A and B are shown apart, each in its own frame.
Chain A
């Protein structure tokens, strides 16, 4: 079974703090993704990576950065947390077949509260 794990299930931070969210997958997937999910807004893609050290902006990258130093690990960084970044953060990974990706598998999510 595909396993995607995230470093924390719940996190409480203060405004201005630097926040690190980590994600690890054990299926040798090429692609990894960070989403945030808010009521009524669905899944919104923050950043994704298709290879080690490669990163691409998603729909809402502002206020976030990412790092992928190893294939299995993808980190999301909030440089200076703000209250509007309070959300559920979901990591996902997928395999590529040719130029198409297969289905995405999600981690359990991190519920972040910024005070």
Chain B
């Protein structure tokens, strides 16, 4: 049973600070990793993908991957109230076919003005 674990939160961060969201996964065969943002009552939207060990930056967002530790994280710099949402981590198994993507349950992030 493939598992993706996230702290459900809520994680409360003051405006302007760095928000750090973490995700661990159980399947060592995982090769691609995704972060989705989901506002309350809305559907998930993709914000970052990462495939190689190390950091990947996109604007205020940085995804970090450590395959040896089976750990992926998302950093949000200069946090804004509009970043308040639930963040879903998703992990894809190499060659896993159409059902190879496993989602975590999400971390609820609150940015305090």
Task: State the A residues within 8 Å of B (CB).
Answer: 30-31, 40-43, 45, 48-50, 56, 58, 90, 94, 96, 98-109, 111
CB of A35, distance to nearest CB on chain B (Å): 9
Given pairs A48-B99, A58-B99, 13 additional interface contacts (CB within 8 A)? A31-B98, A42-B106, A43-B44, A45-B99, A90-B43, A90-B44, A100-B31, A100-B32, A104-B90, A104-B101, A106-B36, A106-B43, A107-B43
Chain B residue numbers with a CB within 8 Å of A90 are 43-44
User: Which residue of the partner chain A has the closest CB to B100?
Assistant: A101
From A42, A99, A104, give the contact of B96 (CB < 8 A): A99
Q: 1/0 contact trace for B76-112 toward A, CB 8 Å?
A: 0000000000001010111111111101111000000
Contact residue among B43, B45, B90, B98 (Cβ-Cβ distance under 8 Å from A30) = B98
Tell me whether B42 is interfacial, beta carbon within 8 Å: yes
Cα A40 to Cα B36 in complex, Å, equals 17
Q: Does B49 have its Cβ within 8 Å of any Cβ on chain A?
A: yes
Question: Is A41's CB under 8 angstroms from B105's CB?
Answer: yes
Specify which of B90, B101, B103, B105 lies most central, judged by the most chain A CB atoms within 10 Å of its CB.
Answer: B101
20 contacting pairs across A/B (C-beta < 8 A): A30-B98, A41-B105, A42-B103, A43-B103, A56-B99, A94-B101, A99-B95, A99-B96, A100-B93, A100-B95, A100-B96, A100-B97, A103-B34, A103-B90, A103-B92, A103-B101, A104-B90, A104-B101, A106-B36, A111-B41
Which residues of B sit under 8 angstroms from A98, Cβ to Cβ?
Answer: 95
Chain A residues closer than 8 Å to B17, beta-carbon distance: none
Complex Cα spacing A17 to B42, Å: 26
Residues of A within 8 A of B98 (CB): 30-31, 48-50, 56, 94, 96, 101
Instruction: List the B side residues contacting A30 at CB < 8 Å.
Output: 98
